[in-house]
Amino acid sequence: MISIAGTSGSRRSSRASAPISSASATAEPGNAVLGLSGKIGAGVGAVLLLGIAASWGVGSLLVHGTASPVAPPQAPAHEVGLRARDGSAISGSYWPGRTANAPAILFLHGVGASREQTAPVAAWFAAQGYAALAIDLRGHGRSAITDHSFGLDEGLDARAAFDWLKKQQRGARVGVVGVSLGGAATLVGRDGAVPADALVLVAVFSDIRRAIYNRLATQLTPVGGAIGEPFLSLQSLPRFGVWPSRISPIAAIADYHGPVFVVGGAEDRFTPGDETRALYDAAPGPKSLWLVPGRDHARVTNMHDAEWYRRLADFFRATIGSP
């Protein structure tokens, strides 16, 4: 009896356990798939986090402001100190005009430069009788060292300098020459576009996303640019409190109805010719365009030849008048 009972119990046990064994066999492939999916997801997440961390480090390097030596202005120019609306200290060089109410020109340099980039042309216009002011944008030269913001905060510097120069010249007409970052600052600042009586934009990007893509694509191929651009562009929200779409000269220029002279380099890979043309097309007021043959970004933002000075002089004589 014991033997029979044991055999019977063993059979019952086998029968009872059979469905469990079958269910387990059915579940194993699903568990394997879920496990593999989890590992892939974790791997993708780790790569994404690594990419975000690396791009943040790159972004920090790109926006980091750096002081640089600036030679003291030579007479008749003299040093001036200004304050932007947010309290940032701004340094500049001022050249008096032929008369106390002579028309004036404000010069704004590109990223990584200083007022020394525009001092030669400012001095040249001063010799023609115009008043001139060249400043160091924040994060450059001898001004307050803060992070660059692609024109957003630099626009406060541009506005402070414009208002000071307008008052200094007793309400006379004031034109602005903005080179690259300086041009963006005249349009996309936190207080809106600078109310210049005439505006010259040299090698100014159309919007920050394309500007970043162009630079990455030049270094990393177009695929690398397409992958890397969002990682850098979207940092504008945590860094500056705005979406990338807010840093868009091509959108902002629609609100500027004064005369504008748009200049670009025909060989510029950072701000290509089609981008310069698009910025020109978007300007609603009187406008002119010059795509300089053979000039890349570095060469078009550092022009100091007779042809450039002649074109500038013609534009300002027609818009803000002669001294």
In Å, how far from its chain's centre is CA 167? 29
pLDDT band, very low/low/confident/very high, at 4 (cuts 50, 70, 90)? very low
pTM above 0.75, yes or no: yes
User: pLDDT-based confidence at 251, cuts 50/70/90?
Assistant: very high
pLDDT tens sequence across 20-53: 444 444 445 666 656 666 666 666 666 667 767 7
pLDDT at 25 (0 to 100)? 45
* Residue 137, CA distances (Å) to 46, 148, 151, 195, 320 in order: 39, 9, 10, 18, 24
32 and 24 in contact (C-beta within 8 Å)? no
Please compute the mean of the pLDDT values over residues 63-72 and round it to a whole number: 87
The answer to whether 279 and 201 have CB atoms below 8 angstroms apart is yes
CATH superfamily name and code, 78-207+247-319: Alpha/Beta hydrolase fold, catalytic domain (3.40.50.1820)
pLDDT in tens, 136-177: 999 999 999 999 999 999 999 999 999 999 999 999 999 999
- The predicted model gives 284-308 an average pLDDT of 96
Contact status, residue 85 vs residue 158, Cβ threshold 8 Å: no
